[in-house]
Amino acid sequence: MHEDFIKELGYLSLASRLKRISDSMIHSGRQMYKNLNVDIEPNWYLIFKLLEKHGNLSVTDIAEKLQFSHPSVITIINKMTLAGYLQSEPCPTDGRRQWITLTQKAKKMLPEYQKLWVAGTKGIENMLKDTNFLTLLDHLEQELSQQSFMERTLNEFNNGTK
Amino acid sequence: MHEDFIKELGYLSLASRLKRISDSMIHSGRQMYKNLNVDIEPNWYLIFKLLEKHGNLSVTDIAEKLQFSHPSVITIINKMTLAGYLQSEPCPTDGRRQWITLTQKAKKMLPEYQKLWVAGTKGIENMLKDTNFLTLLDHLEQELSQQSFMERTLNEFNNGTK
DNA sequence: TACATTTACGTAGTTAACTACATATTATGC
DNA sequence: GCATAATATGTAGTTAACTACGTAAATGTA
C-alpha cells in the first residue's frame, strides 16, 4: 500500500479529503447506473425527489433548496428534459418563471429508482450507523456558514503575528 | 432561511453534501489567496508539502501518494512550473521519468505560505477539535476501499428483492 | 538479441460545479 | 405612469477532477 499523503496531513487537507470521498462515491454511482442500464445521472435524484415533494418549482426555487447556483440547476434540468423526465411551462402569473414538473415517464420510473436510492441509503447507513457523522456534518456546515474558511484562516493568521 | 433539501435527505445525499462542503472550502481558499495577492491555487499546497518532504519525485510518484490520476498531477505541475515554483529534469537513470523539484522561488516563499497553511489548519481544528471527525473519515474511506458504494448499494438492492 | 509487455508521461475530451454577463419581465417609487 | 431597481432565466467561459488513448522507454522472456 502506498503512502496516503492527504490522510497524513490531517486537518490541513480536510477539503481535499472530503472532495476525494465525494468524487469517489459519485463516480461509483455513475458506474452503477451505467451497469444497470438506467439512463439517469448521479445528481438527478435531487431533482426527482424535490419535485416529488413539491409538485412544481421554478429554476430559482430549486437552486435555493439545493444551495446550487442557478446555472448548475439549468444544466441538470436541460439534460433531464432531454432524457424525457422533466417538462417546463411558463408560470401563468409571472412571465419570467418556468414551472418545472415531472413527466409521465418520470412518475412511472420513480418507484423503481426509489428502490435504488433506498438501497444506496442503507449501504451508507451500514458504514456509519454507530457514528454521529451526520451530526458532525451539521456542525461543520453551521460553523462554516457563520464564519467562512477564509475568515477563520485569516483570524488565526493575524493572531499568530500579534 | 430556505429549506436545505440536501441536509434533509440524510444519508442518501451524503456524497452531494461532502461535495458541497469541500467545494465551499476550496472556493473560500481560492478567494483568500486572491485577497492576499498570493499567486498560488488551492491544491498546490499538496505538491509543495510533498516535495518539501521528499526532495524530488516523478509525476507517477506524486499521483500515487495523493491518489490522483496522473493527468491531474500533470495539469497542476504545469501551472506551478509556469508560476515559477517547480522545475523538471529527466531522471538520469530512467529516460521515461521526470524529476520534479522545487525552485529557489518556491523554497524562498514556502515559510510564508507555511504560516497560512498552519493558520488554516488551526481554523479547521477549532471547529472540530472536540470531535472524532478525522477518525470517522478514516473509517469511511477504509470501508469504501474495501467495498465500493456501488457494490454496497447493489448488495442492499438484491437483498431487498429476496 | 529481438519481440512483447509494462511503465511513465503526455494529450484530448468529459463532467459538474462555479462566476460574470445578458436579456426579459415584474415590482417599486417619485 | 414612467423610470429605475430587482428578479428569473439563459449563455459563455473557468476550474479541477476524471477516462481513454497515444508514444517512448525500460523490462522480461524465448
| Same domain? A54 vs A4 | no
Same domain, B25 and B60: no
CB contact under 8 A, B18 and A18: yes
Q: Give the pLDDT confidence score for residue B17 in this predicted structure.
A: 95
How distant is C1' of C23 from CA of A65, in Å? 25
Query: A95 and A58, same structural domain?
Result: yes
CB-based contact B67:A4 (threshold 8 Å) = yes
Among A136, A35, A138, smallest CA distance to B150 is for: A35
List, as ranges, residues 56-85 from B with C-beta within 8 Å of A: 64-67
Give pLDDT tens digits for A108-152.
Answer: 999 999 999 999 999 999 999 999 999 999 999 999 989 999 999
- pLDDT tens, residue by residue, A27-84: 999 989 988 889 999 999 999 999 999 988 999 999 999 999 999 999 999 999 999 9
- d(Cα B142, Cα B105) in Å, to the nearest integer? 38
pLDDT of residue A96: 87
Residue A1 pLDDT greater than 80, yes or no: no
Say if residue B33 is in the same domain as residue B54: no
CB contact under 8 A, B4 and A65: yes
All 3 cell numbers of residue A13? Answer: 487537507
In the predicted model, what is the mean pLDDT of chain B? 92
Q: Find the Å distance, CA of residue B29 to C1' of nucleotide D15.
A: 14
CA distance A66 to A87: 19
B87 SS3 class: strand
**A91 confidence band (pLDDT: 50, 70, 90):** confident
The answer as to whether B32 is a domain residue is yes
Residue A3's pLDDT is 85
CA nearest to nucleotide D12 C1': residue: A71
pLDDT at site A100 = 95
User: Is the distance between the Cβ of B93 and the closest atom of strand C smaller than 7 Å?
Assistant: no
Query: Per DSSP, which regions of chain A are E strands?
Result: 86-90, 98-102
Q: Inspect the interface and report whether the beta carbons of B121 and A11 lie closer than 8 Å.
A: yes
Q: Nearest C-alpha of chain A: how many angstroms from B62?
A: 9
**Long-range contacts, stretch B128-137, CB < 8 angstroms, 24+ apart:** B128/A11, B128/A136, B128/A140, B131/A136, B131/A139, B133/A136, B133/A140, B134/A10, B134/A11, B136/A128, B136/A131, B136/A133, B136/A136, B137/A17, B137/A18, B137/A21
A142, closest residue in chain B (CA to CA): B127
Cβ neighbours of B144 in A, within 8 Å? 21, 24-25, 127
What's the domain range around B4? 1-37
Nearest CA in chain A to B43: A16
- DSSP SS3 for B139: helix
What pLDDT, in 10s, does the model give residues B19-66?
Answer: 999 999 999 999 899 888 899 999 999 999 999 999 889 999 999 999
- The answer to whether A98 touches A88, Cβ cutoff 8 Å, is yes
User: Contacts of residue B135 in chain A, CB cutoff 8 Å?
Assistant: none
Asked if residue B32 and residue B84 are part of one domain, the reply reads: no
List strand C contacts in B 22-41 (CB < 7 A): 23, 27
> Would an 8 Å CB–CB cutoff place B140 in contact with chain A?
yes
- Residue A73: strand, helix, or coil: helix
Positive/negative CA dihedral, A46, A47, A48, A52: positive
Whether residue B142 is contained in a domain is answered as no
Please state whether strand C lies within 7 Å of residue B74 at its CB atom.
yes
Q: Can you list the positions of beta strands (E) in B68-132?
A: 86-91, 94-102
Among A64, A82, A106, give the residue marking a domain's end.
Answer: A106
Report pLDDT for A160: 63
Predicted confidence band of residue B159 (pLDDT cuts 50, 70, 90): confident
Residue A28 belongs to some domain of the structure = yes
In a domain, B64, yes or no: yes
pLDDT at B22: 94
Q: Is the pLDDT of residue B95 over 90?
A: no
CA B140 to chain centre: 17
Which of B105, B122, B145 is the endpoint of a domain? B105
Residues A19, B16: C-beta atoms closer than 8 Å: no
Q: What is the CATH number of the domain that holds A89?
A: 1.10.10.10
Which residues touch B157 (CB under 8 Å, ≥6 apart)? Answer: A115, A116, A119
Interface probe, candidates A9, A23, A25, A158, chain B, greatest B C-beta count within 10 A: A25
Domain count, chain B: 2
CA distances in angstroms from B5 to A40, A47, A57, A67, B144, listed in the order given: 20, 10, 13, 9, 25
Q: Residue B113 pLDDT > 70, yes or no? A: yes
Average pLDDT over residues A14-22: 94
